Amino acid sequence: MKQINIKKSIEELRKNSEKRNFEQMFELIINLKSINLKKSDTQFYEKFTLPNELGKKAKIVVFVDSMESDAKGFGFDVIPKEKIMINDKTLAKKFARKISRKYDFLMAEGPLMPLIGKKFGQILAPRKKMPIIITSKDMLKETQEKLNKTISIQLKTTPVIQFSVGSEKISDEKIIENINSGLEEVKTKLPKNKGNIKDILLKLTMSKTVKIQ
């Protein structure tokens, strides 16, 4: 897609959209055609890392044991080992639902994973929220940086794919890079590549859409 066309769409949204008292996100909307979503092999869900941060920090929590002080030092919310030891199954499910709604991503020290799977896996796994395994302090930081660039791309029963590509404070150039990267990834997942794309729209969180020509 030509960068000049994407840039014009970004500029139009910046100029004409009503200012809000919160930081809006640019959202890419890809409308599809000629695709049979009743076939399970055309449906997909994946997490994809864009080239640039989105400008909005991901909400992350870490299940910790020996690395609690390290995780707190990087500013993470933490769930210590003793909080995983919930014997009441109803309370365990309630807790798992709560953290799956509250956080974008979960991380955990490797040795805690069997316990997390046993206590919370029934709730977290279907929601695609099983924790990312962390093995070192350096990995905590590296994963944090990566997750701040990570989006979820999903296609189920409706022929539309939508995902964030950056906040208002991100430069046009970085948003363009994120759009092109996300779009190319989507194409690889479609049976007919770009032949399944009907049109591509861009919007801010609370704005009307504009079509990218």
Which of 128, 147, 166 is the C-terminal boundary of a domain?
147
Chain CA centroid to CA 173, Å? 20
What does the pLDDT look like over 153-199, one tens digit per residue? 999 999 999 999 999 999 999 999 999 999 999 999 999 999 999 99
Looking at residue 1, its pLDDT comes to: 58
Range of the domain at 67: 60-147
Residues 31 and 109 in one domain: no
Instruction: Output the domain CATH number for residue 178.
Output: 3.30.190.20
Which of 127, 147, 167 is the C-terminal boundary of a domain?
147
Chain CA centroid to CA 172, Å? 20
Instruction: Output the domain CATH number for residue 138.
Output: 3.40.50.790
Say if CB 81 and CB 111 are below 8 A apart. Answer: no
Give the whole-angstrom CA distance, residue 108 versus residue 113: 7
Which amino acid type is present at position 33?
Answer: K
Say if CB 64 and CB 81 are below 8 A apart. Answer: yes
Residues 91 and 34 in one domain: no
Residues 41 and 64 in one domain: no
Looking at residue 40, its pLDDT comes to: 87
Residues 165 and 192 in one domain: yes
Residues 76 and 50 in one domain: no
**Number of structural domains in the chain:** 2
What does the pLDDT look like over 36-94, one tens digit per residue? 999 889 999 999 999 999 999 999 999 999 999 999 999 999 999 999 999 999 999 99
How many alpha carbons lie under 13 Å from residue 180 in its C-beta half-sphere?
15
pTM of the model as a whole: 0.89
Residues 177 and 188 in one domain: yes
What does the pLDDT look like over 100-152, one tens digit per residue? 999 999 999 999 999 999 999 999 999 999 999 999 999 999 999 999 999 99
Residues 78 and 140 in one domain: yes
Residues 36 and 77 in one domain: no
Looking at residue 2, its pLDDT comes to: 62
Confidence band, pLDDT 50/70/90 cuts, at residue 28: very high
The kind and range of the H/E element at 117 are: helix 113-124
Give the whole-angstrom CA distance, residue 144 versus residue 162: 23
The conformation of residue 134, written as its DSSP 8-state character, comes to E
